[in-house]
Structure 1
């Protein structure tokens, strides 16, 4: 059995470089000037709202949401990330717990949240429908779900990502990540077709409201011109907003 095969993918992915991730992700262009602004724009004004930050990592979005006037409940599966999230969100209206997005969120009551954010966490989940169903349960009537993921077609075009599978199959793959210092962490995730994502939403009661293939923020051209040009040509992520 390969290393990490018996553990949830996210734990194996992030435990080894949590502190490096926490130090760099707030300013790393792919995060700070690309995915995060797109996700937060989909989430909209959160003042006075109850927000669930599912797969919160080191609490970067949780902090931003709390400072924007939201009451935040957050969870993550990686203890090393949770410790950093508690430091980052100390003194803010953020409740942080250990939790697995692939399991029942049994500490959360039905209809608890106005909005749910799941930023770049679903790539580490093999089966999406149970997750979407649980998000639907804890969302209030009219609530929003906002999530971001790797772009299915971008991932399909990379032979390292798709392996020997067809586009229509879900497959687990991994690679060494650059941009977070040495040693380069080995991170595994899942690649899947777009239809499985959108149909999984519909089959669990969600109504698609907005589908975004984001462009990089203009400021990214100055700090990371190579990736700005790349992301201006083709997207790396998708952003989705759905309503209950």
Structure 2
């Protein structure tokens, strides 16, 4: 390994044709999973390209954060557009209850190793005390580490 990464732009709705079977040690899916419509295909492809014992780190917006923001049912699977500040841009994604998020990953044959609901570090208190206090009271993210058997 030469310590350098090669950036690659790829549509996760498509198979990972650039990758051979069992060619990766790990995969990071940081705040991307809830944007993919064909998650069954994606998870099959991730399982295919991971070596046995390989890992996935996946994070998503915590379902309770979506529930607090959008209201309605916590168990909603609707697609939403979250505006980005005062701009005309928004983020399009699907609301996923915890049982859906974890259930899909486990059904694809991965084994859960760790689940965390990250809390802010003390440094945030110095930058934005209101945000720090809010994030200490209610989770905003959900992160999991899974293993390919």
Q: Please confirm whether the aligned pair reaches a TM-score higher than 0.5, indicating the same fold.
A: yes
* 1:173 alignment counterpart: 80
1:96 is paired with a residue of what secondary structure? coil
1:40-79 alignment runs, 5 A limit = 71=3
Partners of 1:122 and 1:100 in 2: CA distance:
12
Which of 49, 74, 80 matches 1:138? Answer: 49
Matched, 1:148 2:59: yes
Runs (4+) of structure 1 moved beyond 4 Å? Answer: none
Partners of 1:197 and 1:130 in 2: CA distance:
15
Q: Which runs of 5+ in 2 are unaligned?
A: none
Matched, 1:212 2:116: yes
2:11 is paired with a residue of what secondary structure? coil
Partners of 2:128 and 2:19 in 1: CA distance:
40
- Listed one character per residue, the Cα deviations across residues 60-97 of structure 1 (whole Å, up to 9, x for unaligned) are xxxxxxxxxx85xxxxxxxxxxxxxxxxxxxxx11112
Partners of 2:68 and 2:37 in 1: CA distance:
20
Q: Which runs of 5+ in 1 are unaligned?
A: 1-47, 49-69, 72-92
Aligned length: 148
- Would you tell me which structure has more helix in proportion to its own residues? 1
1:84-123 alignment runs, 5 A limit = 93-123=4-34
* 2:101 alignment counterpart: 197
When normalised by structure 1's length, the TM-score is 0.56
Q: 2:118·2:142 contact (CA, 8 Å) conserved in 1? A: yes
When normalised by structure 2's length, the TM-score is 0.89
RMSD: 1.8
